[in-house]
Amino acid sequence: MSDTPKKMFVKSFGCQMNVYDAQRMVDVLSPEGYMETDNQADADLVVLNTCHIREKAVEKVYSDLGRLRKIKHARGEDGKDTMVVVAGCVAQAEGKEIVRRAGMVDLVVGPQSYHRLPELVKQAQAKPGVVDTEFPLEDKFAHLPAASRQRTLARGPSAFLTVQEGCDKFCTFCVVPYTRGSETSRGAGQLLAEAKRLAEDGVRELTLLGQNVNAYHGGGLDGKTWNLARLLEALANIDGIERLRYTTSHPRDMDEELMAAHRDMPQLMPYLHLPVQSGSDRILNAMNRQHTRMDYLQLIAKIRSYQPDLAVSGDFIVGFPGETEADFRDTLNVIENVGYASAFSFKYSPRPGTPAADMRNQVAEEVKAERLARLQALLEEQRQAFNTSCIGRTFDILLDRPGRSEGQLGGRSPYLQAVHVDAPHLKVGDIVSVKVTGKSTNSLVGELAGALLLSPAPEAHIMEASA
């Protein structure tokens, strides 16, 4: 360990897995003497943990690099070095091209090699311009040190846990199989150990992450292969783990055991993010989604037969090559059929190297914009109706963050809606019964209803209601 503490700043773009990876990058560099800072200008090492999913996400990275060049230059004039690291999916997709385009980048590291950061940082200190975008054979996770208790406490009582990574589905629009590699699942033993440690350090809610999380098939404790339902069951048995979520699922991997888990496991929150992308069979086929519109609708009906009280969320792409007005209406029709509590929707963005980018029947930008506006209007209407239907209901809420005003704390409803509640005498980490009394555009407002249900260990009380 070096004796002068150095500061690192990590900025994550894209999905929740990048947020998890960013935390692990801090964990792996902390034994090298790096402390995390939230002030970019003060950092000796800056990591941009990037996303390649849509063109706009990539543009953001290059514009950030432009800003960073100025900071690096200004710090240089004060005699301070700034190491610039590009990690994540743009790093994987562009590799050396990043160093060519932005010469001030010292190190490019892909999502499968960041456990090597200590060594790579040293190499880049000796000679800038290091690129590591290998898919190494060794298990990245086995080489990452656990988060310290202090860092886990600071990250709060709701934590991410990557259980599955990569994708073999090759939807024709998507870069993920190229940037994250093929589908792998972490072993249950490793995951349970990580989860136990998080629980001991104050974590009450785990969100299991994977590009195809419901395709999880990791080695179980009994030597057999476990599916996601089996893994969830084992995680639910850990002392302190009160609630479980998982994202993102693929319709083809939704098995009945997982549906039954939504009925049988009180810790499993009644929320399912199950992207359909399009409601048109022709487009679903061109997307290589490997399911039809009817498959999806029947699946939703079946899951709801196990757990009727389920908030469904999804992802939608409008303007995929060849999408006609009739195809688009099929998508609106699926939305009307399902009724979404929340959703993410995007204009199709051609990604270099993916099959759809080379399809000739690309949809005009204005058409995409117009369809997206219509689709989002419908989804927003459904979201607001769902939020309104929650007024008057009482939920157990894990308070996981300071609120927006003094004495207020924030948390998530079982359906993942943000909830704010005045609770001056409570702490982050408490689980309380909250009656929803109203809503604003993006969140619910509630009041305490009844006793404190669960309070964390005293030393976990590090984030107070905002002052």
Footprint on this chain of ligand SAH (rule: CB under 6 A): 53-54, 173-174, 176, 211, 248, 250, 275, 277, 315, 317, 346, 348-349, 351
Q: Kindly tell me which of 88 and 240 has the beta carbon lying closer to ligand F3S.
A: 88
**Is residue 211 at the binding interface for ligand SF4, with CB under 6 A as the rule?**
yes
Q: Which of ligand SF4, ligand F3S, ligand SAH, none sits in contact with 54, Cβ below 5 to 8 A by type?
A: ligand SAH
Which residue of 158, 179, 207, 345 would you call a contact of ligand F3S, by CB under 6 A? 179
Q: Which of 429, 414, 422, 464 is nearest to 446 (CA)?
A: 422
d(CA 358, CA 367): 19
Q: How far is the CB of 27 from ligand F3S (least distance, A)?
A: 19
**Tokens (6 digits) for 283:** 């487009």
Residue 145: its H or E element: none
Instruction: Tell me the window of 30-38, 140-148, 169-177, 193-201 that interacts with ligand SF4 (CB under 6 A).
Output: 169-177
Smallest gap from Cβ 176 to ligand SF4, in A, equals: 4
Determine if 174 is a binding residue for ligand SF4 (CB under 6 A): yes
Q: Are 212 and 253 in contact (CB under 8 A)?
A: yes
Q: How many residues appear in the chain?
A: 467
Does 17 participate in binding ligand F3S (rule CB under 6 A)?
A: yes
Q: Are 85 and 48 in contact (CB under 8 A)?
A: yes
| Choice from 62, 170, 178, 386 touching ligand SF4 (CB under 6 A) | 170
Number of residues that bind ligand F3S (CB under 6 A): 13
**Which residues between 233 and 252 bind ligand SF4 (CB under 6 A)?**
250
- Is residue 273 involved in binding ligand F3S (CB under 6 A)? no
Please, where are the H alpha helices in 172-247? 176-179, 188-200, 228-236
Residues near 11 by Cβ (< 8 Å), separated by ≥ 6? 22, 40, 46, 47, 48, 49, 64
Record the tokens describing residue 376, joined without a space.
């989002």
Helix axes 228-236, 188-200, angle to 10 degrees: 30
CA distance 350 to 355: 9
- Measuring CA to CA, which residue among 312, 316, 340 is closest to residue 328? 316
φ/ψ (deg, to 5) at 311: -90, 125
When binding is defined by CB under 6 A, the residue of 176, 244, 259, 269 that contacts ligand F3S is: 176
Residues within window 433-452 making contact with ligand F3S, judged by CB under 6 A:
none
Q: Which of 75, 169, 282, 329 binds ligand SF4 (CB under 6 A)?
A: 169
Shortest distance (Å) from residue 135 CB to ligand F3S: 14
* 88: partner contacted, choices ligand SF4, ligand F3S, ligand SAH, none (Cβ within 5-8 A by kind): ligand F3S
What number of other Cβ atoms are within 10 A of residue 364's Cβ?
A: 9
Q: Residue 317's binding partner, choosing from ligand F3S, ligand SF4, ligand SAH, none, with beta-carbon cut-off 5 to 8 A by kind?
A: ligand SAH
Q: Phi/psi at 317 (nearest 5 deg)?
A: -120, 130
The alpha carbon dihedral of 402, 404, 408, 414 has a sign of negative
Dihedral of the alpha carbons of 195, 443, 214, 321, in degrees to the nearest 10: -140
Q: Provide the strand spans (E) within 17-157.
A: 34-36, 45-50, 83-87, 107-109, 130-132
Q: How many residues bind ligand SF4 (CB under 6 A)?
A: 10
Stretch that binds ligand SF4, among 1-9, 67-75, 163-171, 436-444 (CB under 6 A): 163-171
Structure tokens at 15: 């999905």
Should residue 105 be labelled a site residue for ligand SF4 when binding is judged by CB under 6 A?
no
Q: Which residues contact 289 (CB under 8 A, 6 or more apart)?
A: 171, 251, 276, 277, 278
Residues 45-104 that bind ligand F3S (CB under 6 A): 51-53, 88-89
By CB under 6 A, name the one of 180, 186, 383, 401 that touches ligand F3S.
180
Q: Which two tokens stand for residue 450?
A: 């009844």
Among 8, 9, 14, 131, binds ligand F3S (CB under 6 A): 14
The DSSP line for 38-51 is: S-GGG-SEEEEEE-
Binder of residue 351, out of ligand SAH, ligand SF4, ligand F3S, none (CB less than 5 to 8 A by kind): ligand SAH
CB of residue 148 to ligand SF4, shortest distance in Å = 32
Tell me which of ligand SF4, ligand SAH, ligand F3S, none is bound by residue 177, counting a contact when its beta carbon lies within the kind-specific cut-off of 5 to 8 angstroms: ligand SF4
- Residue 17 contacts which entry, ligand SF4, ligand SAH, ligand F3S, none (Cβ below 5-8 A, type-dependent): ligand F3S
* Segment interacting with ligand F3S (CB under 6 A) among 175-183, 384-392, 436-444, 458-466: 175-183
Binding site for ligand F3S (CB under 6 A): 14-15, 17-18, 51-53, 88-89, 175-176, 179-180
